[in-house]
Homo-oligomer: A and B are copies of this chain.
């Protein structure tokens, strides 16, 4: 179906919004009135700009507080409407959104509302314009879509139809099933927004917390499916008021917006992009570094060996068990020191995974490689982390490891007991947290946990994990508290060990410290969990954090941060599937203290 978006959903001036919308690939726009009032472009200029960009103007909105008023006020409202028809003529827009009235002057009289809307539609029709009447969830007398439809039906005018809005319907727990009772040709427009489930005033909820479909908790696909079943053939159009998107860049928000509509079409059974081929494990994590010495030190101390070198690029492969870390000195490196640049994901069908991601607007990573290098399927996640879809060492598929020549181990010391990458934590730009979880969940096919708010000494730290069904891939998506620091994003790689005490001891013996954990933490651990004294002493001496749930236990500890990256060691017992969220506050405070030398 055609895809459209209201200009209010993006930040910046109208001309930049239109460019971002067209560049992302939308077919049309709803022109939000305030955006037109705020631009120095005339309506004719906007019309030309949209035509140049290949965008249709699908709706002009909103027209407020029109219907069911005393006669004198009706005359004023009709005059007001004619002035807006003038603007629409200049714009070349032929559909006007009329929201149900919130004005104290409006009367609770459906027949009067229908009669006055009929008059409005009559005048509109003479100008070649149609009217889409929509129930606001907080309308004074009309606040449900079926009520709005009854009035439209009663008015019975060819230039009058209804506009459905998923937020207004679902925020009041309305049953979208009744949509199929509306003749499809009388649904003039369909606006779509999701929202996180929040117990709060619906007007505030709508104005500040709407989000793109799939990012929240409403069944937007159910509304779309019902409208299509009813016969609606107009555009799917996003109308999102969101405090975060208001501040984020229009270009990336527009791409995220269109991706959410593509996924919504899939959910509603209206389109079938290539199916997800969910990853089953980590093939590698790739770090960029200008100076490799600090990384070599900690990797060596963790028991990794340098196992290979790329045949055409300055990339080293460090390996221990199935855990593989690439150290890339050719990518320029960040001024802030080593950083995580890419993740390799073991994928049953790498080409299909890449096709799906590409169809869902993930930028394909340019495959700069030597003539003999193995072809790689790779895309960029919303935070620009590169995702490589791999089949490591499988005879049915070229393996990225074929591009590495083996090297003798760099040290004779024993390995540290690390068996594989347990999880990777990626700090997201603050305005892309919801988009990131939608991406990893729906584009890659992972499952998302609940979002958690964790206490950092300098604010709240949000975290949401996505994982494959068997736990082979786990990614923790985080967003740090300070919006000013989005360019300093720390990531970490958690390595699984079967004997964390031994691995931690090796690290210490090899001179690579662990993050010191305050003594007070262990007193509390004892109070809460009544831990066996010998174990408690060991944890305390090693700086190992501990958590348990009804299924098992979790032990973890951290290396100091190198540049923008650090390592975590984790040991899971039983069925523990979490990440030790209980300990996040203490760990974050310890990292702040360590960074600032407190």
A residues within 8 Å of B by Cβ?
11-13, 15, 33-34, 36-40, 42-43, 76, 79-80, 83-84, 86-87, 198-201, 204, 207-208, 243, 246-247, 453, 455-460, 481-484, 516, 518-521, 523-524, 526-528, 530, 585-586, 589-590, 592-593, 598
Contacts and interface: CB of A to CB of B under 8 A. Distances in A.
Given A11-B459, A37-B585, A40-B516, 10 more contacts: A12-B457, A13-B457, A13-B589, A38-B457, A40-B518, A76-B530, A83-B524, A198-B204, A246-B481, A247-B458
A484 B429 CA distance: 14
A208 B459 CA distance: 11
Contacts of A482: 247
Given A39-B589, A483-B484, A523 B86 contact: yes
A86 B522 CA distance: 13
10 closest residue pairs by CB, A with B: A83-B527, A38-B589, A200-B200, A199-B201, A484-B484, A247-B459, A246-B459, A80-B527, A40-B518, A483-B483
18 contacts: A13-B593, A33-B524, A34-B455, A37-B518, A38-B457, A38-B520, A40-B518, A42-B519, A42-B520, A43-B520, A80-B527, A83-B523, A198-B201, A199-B200, A200-B201, A207-B453, A243-B460, A246-B456
Contact of A586 (B37, B455, B483, B592): B37
A79 B38 CA distance: 65
Nearest to A90: B523
A327 to B, nearest CB: 32
A79 B460 contact: no
A593 B87 CA distance: 22
B585 A34 contact: yes
A13 to B, nearest CB: 6
A598 B520 contact: no
A83 B533 CA distance: 14
A124 to B, nearest CB: 15
A246 B460 contact: yes
A104 to B, nearest CB: 13
A590 B530 contact: no
Contacts of A484: 483-484
Contact of A528 (B80, B201, B247, B459): B80
Contacts of A86: 523
Nearest to A36: B520
A456 B13 CA distance: 10
A547 to B, nearest CB: 14
Nearest to A596: B13
Q: Is the interface of A mostly helix, strand, loop or mixed?
A: helix
A258 B260 CA distance: 47
A80 B523 CA distance: 10
Nearest to A38: B589
Given A12-B458, A15-B598, A198-B200, A38 B590 contact: yes
A323 to B, nearest CB: 30
A125 B286 CA distance: 58
A484 B430 CA distance: 12
Contacts of A589: 13, 38-39
A198 B201 CA distance: 8
B38 A518 contact: yes
Contact of A247 (B38, B481, B523): B481
A523 B208 CA distance: 29
A520 B458 contact: no
A516 B41 CA distance: 12
Contact of A520 (B15, B37, B520, B530): B37
Contacts of A37: 518, 520-521, 524, 585-586
A168 to B, nearest CB: 18
Contacts of A200: 198-201, 204
A425 B95 CA distance: 40
Nearest to A12: B457
Contacts of A526: 83
A327 B300 CA distance: 64
Contacts of A516: 40
A306 B383 CA distance: 56
A87 B523 contact: yes
A137 B158 CA distance: 54
A527 B585 contact: no
A98 to B, nearest CB: 14
A259 to B, nearest CB: 23
Contacts of A76: 530
A279 B269 CA distance: 66
Contacts of A83: 523-524, 526-527
Contacts of A592: 13
A458 B11 contact: yes
